Amino acid sequence: MADPASGELRPAIERMPVSRIRDVANEAMGMEGLIPLWFGEPDVATPDFICQAAADALSQGETFYSPNRGVPDLRHALARYTSELYQVPVADDRITITASGMSGIMLSHQLLIEPGTNVICATPAWPNVQGTVDVLGGEFRPAPLKFTGSGWQLELETVFDAVDDNTRAVFINSPGNPTGWVMPGDDQKALLAFCRERGLWLLADEVYARLVYDRSHAPSFLEHAGPEDRVIVINSFSKPWAMTGWRLGWLVTPARLGQRLEMVNEFNLAGAATFTQIAGITALRDGEDFIARQLERYRSARSAVYERLSANPRIRIGWPEGAFYAYFAVDGIDDGLAFCKRLVREHRVGLVPGSAFNAAEEGWLRLCFASQLDTLNTALDRLEDAIAS
Ligand SMILES: Cc1ncc(COP(=O)(O)O)c(C=O)c1O
């Protein structure tokens, strides 16, 4: 690694901190019997029918470059999927295929961020949101969610107060990683009205849109925004269809961004892989039963993990309305990173400290419950030992 102060690379790159998730994961090098609950991904492989669609596409010679905004049939399928899910018309020319939600976030920030500008982001938030703002030399401004005792809430004033003349966008991830918070539709409407008034972009990371448990779908900014509003919705095949390793996602934007996105995507990827996009069409067409089965499993896991953690008098936890994380604080832990490292070393369980997500307070931890119940119970036994010791 370059010396952080060498001046050899761009200052924005040399200033970038090492990932705390990786920092904790390094403790586990060569360890046996570890239960890793730090990464946010389903514990099962992609279903066979989707893999088969990719294999078929390969054997049929689908090995050439794709158009920069994606294979037209997939864009069409996503326009239909989005229109049906939210009961709002979304045309094909509003869809751009990306190589993952991650690349969708980077593309969106590349359109908007430059040194001297800032993005307001509801926090705690997935660290890569800040990472991409940092790479581009912009400023990441947290707008902390408030813990209510039973869940999380974004007071819109917190966002409004953080905005200044250099603000380009407000970034909202709902359902949220790591909190499981779901932004209510009325708050989405009010935030959208504010962004309209101030000429700001709203970047909505909705990669967990299908992972909600107490309602049919998470409210989406697409339900309130007109087709020309300054709203970019970032989405991905990773979580609902268990396709994290495929790197396939999409953006819904105003159609007028199409040509610019085509150019910027060209300079990043020159189009996502063609055969994965073709398999994406099959995932959309035939994947609903798979999503329903996974949701059932996560729902049981969520209850089991929540019940055990909330029974511990030293733990504060919010009820995760969406995504697949338990996010909780342990009284007495004043250095979450050190605790997570000890948890790996001495108890062989991998969690992530809240400080990785720009948490406002120490002592918070994230556990991904997309796992088997017996594995989760063993991990919780070990965690309780670690808290008690
Ligand atoms: C909030 C959030 N957004 C985006 C992503 C990106 O997912 P992917 O790049 O696999 O599509 C993740 C992955 O963990 C996430 O948690």
Question: 140 near 113, Cβ under 8 Å?
Answer: no
CA 247 / ligand 1 centre spacing (Å): 10
pLDDT at 262: 94
| Average pLDDT of the residues in 336-365 | 94
How far apart (Å, rounded) are the C-alpha atoms in residues 61 and 128?
35
How much of the chain, in percent, has pLDDT values that exceed 90? 89
In a domain, residue 4? The reply is: no
In a domain, residue 269? The reply is: yes
pLDDT at 360: 84
- Is pLDDT at 34 greater than 70 in this prediction? yes
Of 266, 286, 306, the residue at which a domain comes to its end is 286
Task: Provide the sign of the torsion angle of the four alpha carbons 29, 33, 38, 39, taken in this order.
Answer: positive
Q: Classify burial at 43, counting beta carbons within 10 Å of its beta carbon; exposed 0-12, middle 13-18, buried 19 or more.
A: middle
In a domain, residue 5? The reply is: no
Residue 240 sits in the same domain as residue 187: yes
Q: How confident is the model at residue 122 (pLDDT cuts 50, 70, 90)?
A: very high
171-206 per-position pLDDT tens digit: 999 999 999 999 999 999 999 999 999 999 999 999
Residue 274 sits in the same domain as residue 331: no
| Average pLDDT of the residues in 108-118 | 97
In a domain, residue 306? The reply is: yes
Q: What mean pLDDT value characterizes the chain?
A: 95
148-161 per-position pLDDT tens digit: 999 999 999 999 99
Of 286, 304, 331, the residue at which a domain comes to its end is 286
Question: 65 near 274, Cβ under 8 Å?
Answer: yes
Residue 261 sits in the same domain as residue 340: no
The enclosing domain of 30 has a CATH number of 3.90.1150.10
From 8-17, 79-88, 139-148, the region with the lowest mean pLDDT: 8-17
Residue 340 sits in the same domain as residue 272: no
Given ligand 1 and candidates 121, 126, 171, 174, which is best to mutate, with the most ligand atoms within 8 Å of its CB? Answer: 126
Given ligand 1 and candidates 238, 251, 268, 324, which is best to mutate, with the most ligand atoms within 8 Å of its CB? Answer: 238
Residue 254 sits in the same domain as residue 375: no
In a domain, residue 6? The reply is: no
Give the global pTM: 0.96
pLDDT at 20: 83
CA 70 / ligand 1 centre spacing (Å): 19
CA 102 / ligand 1 centre spacing (Å): 6
The enclosing domain of 69 has a CATH number of 3.40.640.10
Closest ligand 1 atom, CA of 248? 11
pLDDT at 15: 86
In a domain, residue 118? The reply is: yes
- Is pLDDT at 30 greater than 90 in this prediction? no
- Is pLDDT at 4 greater than 80 in this prediction? no
pLDDT at 2: 47
Q: What is the domain extent for residue 358?
A: 11-46+289-388
Verify whether ligand 1 is closer than 6 Å to residue 244 (CB atom): yes
- Is pLDDT at 16 greater than 50 in this prediction? yes
Residue 26 sits in the same domain as residue 152: no
Residue 171 sits in the same domain as residue 248: yes
Residue 135 sits in the same domain as residue 236: yes
Residue 168 sits in the same domain as residue 192: yes
Residue 161 sits in the same domain as residue 236: yes
pLDDT at 21: 83
CA 66 / ligand 1 centre spacing (Å): 23
Residue 69 sits in the same domain as residue 194: yes
204-229 per-position pLDDT tens digit: 999 999 999 988 889 999 999 999 99
- What's the structural domain count of the chain? 2
In a domain, residue 364? The reply is: yes
Verify whether ligand 1 is closer than 6 Å to residue 206 (CB atom): no
Of 247, 266, 286, the residue at which a domain comes to its end is 286
In a domain, residue 3? The reply is: no
Residue 277 sits in the same domain as residue 336: no
233-272 per-position pLDDT tens digit: 999 999 999 999 999 999 999 999 999 999 999 999 889 9
